[in-house]
Each structure stands twice: as C-alpha cells, then as structure tokens.
Structure 1
Amino acid sequence: MHLTQLLEPHADRLKALSLSQLNAMDPDRAHDFALRSHALYLNFARQRWDRTALQALFDYADSAGVEAHIRALFEGESVNRTEQRPALHTSLRTDVSTSAVARAARQTALDTLAEMTKVVEALNQPDIHDVVSFGIGGSDLGPRFVVDAFGQAHGPCVHFVSNADAHAIDRCLEGLDPKHTAIIVISKSFTTQETLLNANIAKAWLGANAVDRIYAVTSKTDAARAFGVDASRILPMWDWVGGRYSLWSAVGLPIAVALGMPAFEQLLAGAAKTDAVVYSNPLRSNPAVWHALSIVWNTNALGLSGHVVVPYDERLRLLPMYLQQLVMESLGKSTQSDGQTALDATSPVWWGSAGTDAQHSYFQCLHQGNPTSNIELIGVLKPDHAHAAQHQVVLANLLAQSEALANGHASADPHRVHEGNRPNTLILLDRLTPDTLGQLLSLYEHSVYIQAVMWGINAFDQFGVELGKRLAGSLIEHWGHEGESSDAVTRTLLEEIRRK
C-alpha cells in the first residue's frame, strides 16, 4: 500500500471535523503538537490531523526507514543514487558522524574555512570598497538571502548579480569604481552560462585592476585559472555538496565578507545544533520529522498543492525565494529512486513573501479562496530595533492570522463568511541571529530529505533543469541560421522576434 492509500481513510474520517472541533475535542494538542529545538519553537496544533492520523504517519516513516536514512546521510553513504555519490553538506558544519567518509569531508571543510579566512582578510583592505558576487541558483540564493537578512555589518559592501539579463549587471556596476571593486565568481563547473556572461563583462570593466581583483569558488581550478584567477584566490567546491545545500561551504564567501568570519562560523554552529538534534532524536521528538510529516499529510492526505511561507520579519523576506529552490529543485520529481513512477504526489508549489505586506496582497485568497494551501507562519520574538509597540503589532498580526485561517468566522452575509480549516504551522525564533538562522535552514534541509525518503525519490539530483538549458544552447549556437529549431512554434516565435 502506497502512502496516499494509507492516509486516505484518516483523511476521510477527518473531513467532517473542523480545526476548531479538533482543538476542542483535544485541548492538550496545543502543547502536545509542539516541539522546541534550541532557539526554534514549532507548533503543529493547527494542522488538520489528529493523534491517530499522526501515528499512522510516524508508523509509515518508521517502515520507510527514516532513521536509517538520516544516519546514511550523515555518514556519507551514497544517498544520491542516480549520481552514485554522497550528499555531505552536513559535514561542512558538524562532526556528529564518526564514519571515515564524514570525517574526511569534515577535515576538508575545516581546511577550506582556514583558506576562506585568508581571502576575507584580503578583501578587507582599505582600497576595496565593493565586492560583486556572480553566481546563480544555489551559488547565489543562499548567500544573497543571508546577507540581506543581516545587512552589511562588516568590510566592503557586497552586491549580487545572477540574471543573464544585462540590465542586472549594468545597474549593479553603475556608481561603483573599478579601482575599488573586487569580484567573486561562484560556479562549480565554471561553465555556468549566466555567471560567465556577467563575469566577463565585469572583468572587462575592471580593466587593469582585474589582475588581482578576481576571486573564484569552483571545483574546476584549471578553468578558473584560464579565466585569469590566480590559484591563491580560488576556493574549492566538491561534488558531494549540491548547489542548493552549499551556502555552508566556500559558496558562503560573500556572507563572510559582508558579516565577518565570526558571524559565518556562528551560522555553521547554529546549523550544527539542528544537525545534532536530527541525528540523535527518535522520530517522535525530531522536529524535522514533524515538519516533513506535516507537508506529506497536506500533500498526500488532503491533496493540497500549495505551500505558503510567510515570515513576519522583514529580514527574512528572501526566505521564500531561497526555499523555492531548496525544496522544489530537490522534490520536484515524478520518478522514484528505483526508476519506477512515483505513485504519490511529491512537492507542492512553495511560494510566499513577508508579512504584514502579504496580508494586503494574497491573504484574501488564503482566507476565502479555493483551493486551500498549507501555510507556514514564521515569527521572531525579540527584535533588534527599539520600537516595541510596532513589534507587538507584527506579532499580534502573526497570531491573529493563524487563528483566523484555522477557525474562520461565521456570518449571515455569505460574502463575509470565513470557512477556516486552513492548515497552518507556526515557527517562532527566539531572536534572529546567524546562529538561529543556521538552525532554521538546517531544519528545512533535513525536512526536505525526510520528505524525499517518505516519497521514495532522490532529493539530490536535478535533471529537470537541464533540458531547457540544452535547447537554449542549441538556439544560441545556430541563431540566425536555417534549422535553428525543429519546433514549429519556436520557429514562428523567432520570426516574430526578428521582425522587431
């Protein structure tokens, strides 16, 4: 029996019960359906499940070998089955595993941290005012998000360029001085089209300054050197760390430049705290397991295809964008690891933005629209500003939206009826620091992996992004010539482009 079939009887049984009724029937669930992990507090009491359904999910997780799979991840087993390699991003920040593979990866990570420290010192010279980071996807989203969250607290001002659209780099370089600017090129293969297009523009813009102002993070040292990067300014990447799991590696160099190495090390330490909990705790007290099961329940039992993330903290405004790649590139699969077609729906569509702005945008649809989405609301208890009354407004809105989504509102006027029953999870951080953000992001990574185990898919390959790239490359190669494309619609669109 596959997962959806297993959960269907529980979903049918619960359809007649509202969230208000579930909480009234089981008042202890407000406490019992919540966990604390260091600085993180997670409350799942407003998910549309009861203890029996939850037990069925835990039973399935147990039968799927989730605990064994977690250990396999940490210990460097070949969990990326389609590419026959481990996924050792946890070794970038923790040493909980005693396996030889994990220990070797950990030592490599520590050696790289020492090299990063030297590079950060080199970039913190008085004549370097700005640093531009070129990367895309996992080589951009993580560092961009963390730097945006904490601001420019240290050293030169760090900028990010990812899009191949040259408007992006033109806007970035406008106002910068090539005599006082350095660039970082982040690309595992050093062949990423968008990154190299932008890096070449920046290299020409730097002119004579390019000789000692270009740094690289890559697994292809020879290609970086051919581009003009001195070996002393190249930091490594490895095939056992996927791009979307790589901000903990030298890919995080822009974070270390903007915030300082101590802050970057605190980010790693926070992630290690969650790693230790996930590695050691049994399923019932494992926060990443609870988080994963809530998404599996909504996807496979309730049939919800949307997952909305709304952080009630402006500093976390890029978190939904970061999670879109982490989750949907990892879980957007319809083929299981064994090559069979997946029988269960996998990743919902993740989206969202910062509250309270979101309330004045799409919350109308979340409250009264159809279909329903699963909603994740994130709050930070202690702000880093002095406006206490304003922070109370933010937290009050966070709590009120959670309650309104769950419980709804009755009215004689049908236009004012809020049906409620919108499942939502609350995640609270004691404070937003590099340490607590590391804890949160590690939680999401482990949740993604556990979901993949439950669905029998590989969280670490990404073949779905390659076809479009190949087609684009072919079009570029044959642009303006006969036989550019065998697709009739593409040929028609090319004709339209040329008419302009």
Structure 2
Amino acid sequence: MSNLTSLPSWQALTEHADEIKQSHMKAMFESDPARAQRYGISAAGLRLDYSKNRLNDATLSLFEQLAEECQLEQQRQAMFDGVAVNHTEQRAVLHTALRSHDTSPLLVDGEDVRAEITSTLDKMAAFVASVHQGEWRGYTDQPFTDVVSIGIGGSFLGPKIMAEALKPYWRKGLNCHYVANVDGTAISEKLKKLNPETTLFVMSSKSFTTQETLTNTLTARDWFMANGGPEEAIGQHFVAVTSNVPAAIQFGIDADNIFPMWDWVGGRYSMWSAIGLPIALQIGFEQFRHLLDGAEAMDTHFRTAPVTQNMPVMMAMMAVWYTNFFDSGSHVVLTYDHYLRGLPAYIQQLDMESNGKGVNNHNQAVDYHTGPVIWGGEGTNGQHAYHQLIHQGSGVIPADFILPLNSHNPLGRHHAMLAANCFGQTQALMAGKTLEEAHQELLDKGVDPQAADALAPHKVMPGNKPSNTLLMDKLTPATLGALVALYEHRTFVQGVIWQINSFDQWGVELGKVLGNSVLDDLESATPRLNQDASTVELIKIFRKGEI
C-alpha cells in the first residue's frame, strides 16, 4: 500500500464511494432544491456549476481532509515562493510570477527574478509597438504583414491556441502562422502563401537546438534567402526566444531581438513569457497584458479560497475522485464556442504531459491511476459523434462544458440554440432516461407494444454521468487567461494529491534520443542498424523508398 492509499482520507473516500455509487444524481436534485446554488463557485470572471457531480457534503468534507493530509496548502505556497518543487530537475516553478504585479523580491538561485520579468515584458511591448507602428520593417522597407511562429510543444501550442481563441481582438494587417511539425509539408504549405519581404519569423527554443524547431527555422532561412532575402537582413526578419544567446547570434539574429527563456518556466506553462510574443503581435500588447491579468486573478483566488470554495482545487479533487474511485480512464473537455475549439488539445498537453507519471515523489512506483486521457472538441459537433459514448457507454467519463454567455458574433437564434444544446447535454447526462420512460415514449409514437418492448432497452440512458459547467460573460483576453490558469492549477493540485512531480517530462526525452539514433541510420551511407529487429526492418524499408 502506498503513502497515498494508506491515508485515512483515502480509506474513507474508498468506503464513501461505495455509498455514492448507490445514489443517482437525479434523486439528489429532487431531495435538495438548492443543490445548484450550493455547489457553485465564482472567481476571476468564471462561474463553475459542479452540482451535476456524484458527490454530497460528506464528499466535500473528505476532499478537505485529503487536501490537508497531502499538505496541499504547503505545496501551493512552496510553488508560489519559488521553492524547487520540480525536484527531479531541481527547478523552481514560477509561471505564476510571469503574470504577477507583485514587486516584492522573488529569489531563484539567489537572484531576484522580478526585474528580469519586468524588463522582458517591457522589451516585448516595445518590439510589438515597433512592428505595429511600422517602425520595424523588412529589408525592402515594407511593413510586416505576416508572422511565422516556429516552436514545438508548449512553445507552439500555447501561442497558436490562445491567438486562435482571441481572433475578435486581432489587429488588422498582421496575420500569424504557426509551424511545429517537422513534416516538411507543414512549413512548405505555410511558406507558399507568404512574401519574404513582409514576413517576420519568431523562433522559440530554449536550447536553440530542438530538432524540429531548428530544422524548420533553417528551412525558413533557406526559403528567405532563396527568394531574394539578403543574408545581412536575417536579423531584420528573424527574432528568437531562447536561453542560448550565442547560437541565436551565430544564426544571424540581432542580439537586441533575442528574448529570454528561463529554467523555472516549463514549456507547457510558458505562454505567459516571451513565448507569448506571437500572441502579443497578433492582439497587441495591451490585450496581452489583459490575458496576464486574468490569469493573475485566478492565481489570487487559488491562493486564498478555502478548499470547497476554490475552483481549481475542487475541479482537481473531482478529477481524482473519478479517476481513482470510479475507474474513469478519461476526461472530456467540450467547448461551446468556436473560438475555443483548440482548447481541449491545449489542456490535453497540459494535463497529460504533467501528470502522466508512474513514480511518486518518494521514488516508488504508484499503485493507483494518474493522468487520465484528456480529449474533447467543439460543441455541438461532438453531440453527433462521441457524445454517444458518454451517454450510453458503460464507463464513467467526466465532462467539462465551457460556454460564454455572450457571443462575439450574435446572429439570430444561434447563440441561444448553442446554449440550449450545452445545458441540455448536461441535463441529459445527469438525468438519463429510464426503461419505463423509453417504453412509454415509443408507445406514444404509435409503436407496436411488442416492438416497443424490443427497442426500449436500446433507448435507455442510465444518466448519473458527471459534468461541470464553466461559464463566463464573454470570451475576452482576461477570461481566457483565468480559464487557462484554472486548468494549470487544477493540474498542479492533482499532482499534489497523487504525490507526483507535475513539472518534469522525462517520458518525452527517450523518444527524442532514440529518434536521433534512428535518423543517423536513415541518412548514413553506412548505417549501424543496431536497433531491435522491427525498427531495423522499418529503417531498411524507408531507405529503399518503397514497400
């Protein structure tokens, strides 16, 4: 038995889960008319309705006990204080400092990082202004019309999805494009549409050696020069976000246009840093500042609210509840806003790269599940596809429904219909449809009684399927910032409960190392072919170039 599963609260939750499994949420609502009012939290411009979950006051009390026994408060404070909570890499975790207005000293390795954060934000603001005002131009003295952001992982996904979500705030005359995949088709299709005279490239790589990012950047440079761009103008058209300043300068990037990255910010938490430069270029630095402010508002809530009134903590506790006590292997994120269609992929990386771990902080293999599969998509499209599995599948799949109350594009009945679908889905998941209801429904439609007997079981939906509903007045930079910070803190709390390090990603590294070895064999005139038999055979087929 592990440290976690031997905790009194864990043992009590195990017994309590057996009781809750005998109850139906529909009955809970019938016996408690005020349930929706009591099981809701408002913070940082967001409203969470978690009343459609398989829990009661006793569950919340045990959540509080579990948080205390796992020292959540102490772990949270340690993260905000700059303690090296990423213990396998001996690094602080300070993405929260990037959006904080606090000016008190915050020391990392004896140095106050506040000043560097402020200077970087000032540098970003000045650069964005120079591009938007036409002061920073291309080599033919034309203003930039396009920005190509080249990165991978969090350096790509964060800027891309956040800029996509904030399309109503885009500045006219400047379009951002995003490249991550090392597949040559990805960057080729982007470059076909661009003019080298008016294109600015932002390369994001902490080491300036990340294989995919460096390869795409070299390809971009070759394209730039092959289409008339002089080598001496590379500094005008390429900027970098990196900690390897010498490599960037050697590449040809002007030292004044190199923005820092820090070890105390992980890639999937980095959009608040200079990694967010493409976002700022797309929406303007003032709106980027609002994005930071929204995240800071959620940080403040997370630091100060008690467990059962703390939005990230409650969402994390419910995720643990279903993962470990209901054997739920996945969690679905459903965005009822077209601009937020990319958010599930962002949360997927955030959660799964953070908590996909099998060894705890005591260097022991865990004997419980961590890191469920995160997936999802855009409503109402999913209702005609995978919602079927959520409604009638045999497992429990907790769902987050996300909806702005007001649309950026009000058009007839569209938004009311969208909201009706969102709320109707949560209601259907909770209440379901009994065999008797399905049978009577068929009879009311004139179906023969014998046929109704045969068909009714297939139309039964058991209900009792848990969901959260997250609302905001409108999707703005501030509410988006709060939403992303909410999921960041949710991820952190899950890691604290599961007693794992949410801030390393050693599983990502192995594939990179082996991939480099395979690449040598794919390109070498004298390949070693010392891999396993399957990989060797695949290499031989690839080198042959045909099946």
Q: Give TM class, smaller chain.
A: over 0.9
Picking from 114, 136, 151, the partner of 1:106 is 114
Q: Over residues 192-220 of structure 1, what are the superposed CA-to-partner deviations in whole Å (9 max), with x where a residue is unaligned? A: 11111111110011111424210000111
Q: Over residues 295-333 of structure 1, what are the superposed CA-to-partner deviations in whole Å (9 max), with x where a residue is unaligned? A: 011111111011000010000000001111111111000
Picking from 312, 337, 362, the partner of 2:361 is 337
For 1:6 and 1:52, the matched residues in 2 are separated by: 10
Which moved further from structure 2: 369-378 or 127-136?
369-378
Tell whether 2:469 aligns with 1:426: yes
For 1:6 and 1:229, the matched residues in 2 are separated by: 59
- Count the aligned residue pairs: 500
- Give the % identical residues: 40
Aligned to 1:478: 521
For 2:412 and 2:300, the matched residues in 1 are separated by: 34
CA RMSD between the two structures:
1.6
Which moved further from structure 2: 294-303 or 249-258?
294-303
Going from structure 1 to structure 2, the CA distance change for 1:485 and 1:374 (only over 3 Å counts) comes to farther
For 1:127 and 1:258, the matched residues in 2 are separated by: 14
Picking from 251, 254, 262, the partner of 2:286 is 262
For 1:123 and 1:463, the matched residues in 2 are separated by: 38
The answer on whether the counterparts of 2:131 and 2:143 sit within 8 Å (CA) in structure 1 is no
Aligned to 2:430: 406
For 1:99 and 1:364, the matched residues in 2 are separated by: 52
What letter corresponds to residue 432 of structure 1 in structure 2? L
What is the CA-CA distance between 1:155 and the residue it aligns to?
4.9
Aligned to 2:30: 24
Provide the TM-score with structure 2 as the length reference: 0.89
Which moved further from structure 2: 50-59 or 191-200?
50-59
Tell whether 2:395 aligns with 1:350: no
Q: How does 1:307-322 map to 2 (within 5 A)?
A: 307-322=331-346
Going from structure 1 to structure 2, the CA distance change for 1:96 and 1:290 (only over 3 Å counts) comes to farther
The answer on whether the counterparts of 1:88 and 1:105 sit within 8 Å (CA) in structure 2 is no
For 1:71 and 1:106, the matched residues in 2 are separated by: 17
What letter corresponds to residue 101 of structure 1 in structure 2? L
What is the CA-CA distance between 1:95 and the residue it aligns to?
4.1
Aligned to 1:36: 42
Structure showing greater Rg: 2
What is the CA-CA distance between 1:107 and the residue it aligns to?
2.4
The answer on whether the counterparts of 2:10 and 2:66 sit within 8 Å (CA) in structure 1 is no
Q: Over residues 420-461 of structure 1, what are the superposed CA-to-partner deviations in whole Å (9 max), with x where a residue is unaligned? A: 111111111111000110111111111111111111001110
The answer on whether the counterparts of 1:138 and 1:244 sit within 8 Å (CA) in structure 2 is yes
What is the CA-CA distance between 1:252 and the residue it aligns to?
0.3
The answer on whether the counterparts of 2:40 and 2:51 sit within 8 Å (CA) in structure 1 is yes
The answer on whether the counterparts of 1:75 and 1:98 sit within 8 Å (CA) in structure 2 is no
Picking from 485, 489, 493, the partner of 2:534 is 489
The answer on whether the counterparts of 2:327 and 2:396 sit within 8 Å (CA) in structure 1 is no
What letter corresponds to residue 362 of structure 2 in structure 1? D
Picking from 462, 487, 492, the partner of 2:505 is 462
Aligned to 2:186: 168
Tell whether 2:71 aligns with 1:65: yes
What is the CA-CA distance between 1:100 and the residue it aligns to?
3.4
Provide the TM-score with structure 1 as the length reference: 0.97
What is the CA-CA distance between 1:156 and the residue it aligns to?
1.8
For 1:495 and 1:83, the matched residues in 2 are separated by: 38
3-state SS of paired residue (2:92): coil
The answer on whether the counterparts of 1:185 and 1:216 sit within 8 Å (CA) in structure 2 is yes
Q: Over residues 80-125 of structure 1, what are the superposed CA-to-partner deviations in whole Å (9 max), with x where a residue is unaligned? A: 1111111011000114584532892232211101111122133332
The answer on whether the counterparts of 2:521 and 2:539 sit within 8 Å (CA) in structure 1 is no
What is the CA-CA distance between 1:58 and the residue it aligns to?
1.4
What is the CA-CA distance between 1:38 and the residue it aligns to?
3.0
Q: Over residues 114-141 of structure 1, what are the superposed CA-to-partner deviations in whole Å (9 max), with x where a residue is unaligned? A: 1111221333325211110100101011
Picking from 128, 152, 155, the partner of 1:136 is 152
Tell whether 2:247 aligns with 1:229: no
Which moved further from structure 2: 37-46 or 2-11?
2-11
Q: Which runs of 5+ in 1 are unaligned?
A: none
Q: Over residues 58-88 of structure 1, what are the superposed CA-to-partner deviations in whole Å (9 max), with x where a residue is unaligned? A: 1110111111111111111111111111101
What letter corresponds to residue 389 of structure 1 in structure 2? R
Aligned to 2:177: 159
Aligned to 2:57: 51
Aligned to 1:127: 143
3-state SS of paired residue (2:537): helix
What is the CA-CA distance between 1:388 and the residue it aligns to?
4.6
Q: Which runs of 5+ in 2 are unaligned?
A: 1-5, 135-141, 440-455
The answer on whether the counterparts of 1:72 and 1:79 sit within 8 Å (CA) in structure 2 is yes
Q: How does 1:444-459 map to 2 (within 5 A)?
A: 444-459=487-502
Which moved further from structure 2: 104-113 or 217-226?
104-113
Aligned to 1:367: 391
What is the CA-CA distance between 1:370 and the residue it aligns to?
2.6
Which moved further from structure 2: 144-153 or 259-268?
144-153
The answer on whether the counterparts of 1:329 and 1:462 sit within 8 Å (CA) in structure 2 is yes
Q: Report runs of 4+ in structure 1 exceeding 3 Å deviation.
A: 2-6, 95-100
Aligned to 2:96: 90
For 1:249 and 1:380, the matched residues in 2 are separated by: 26
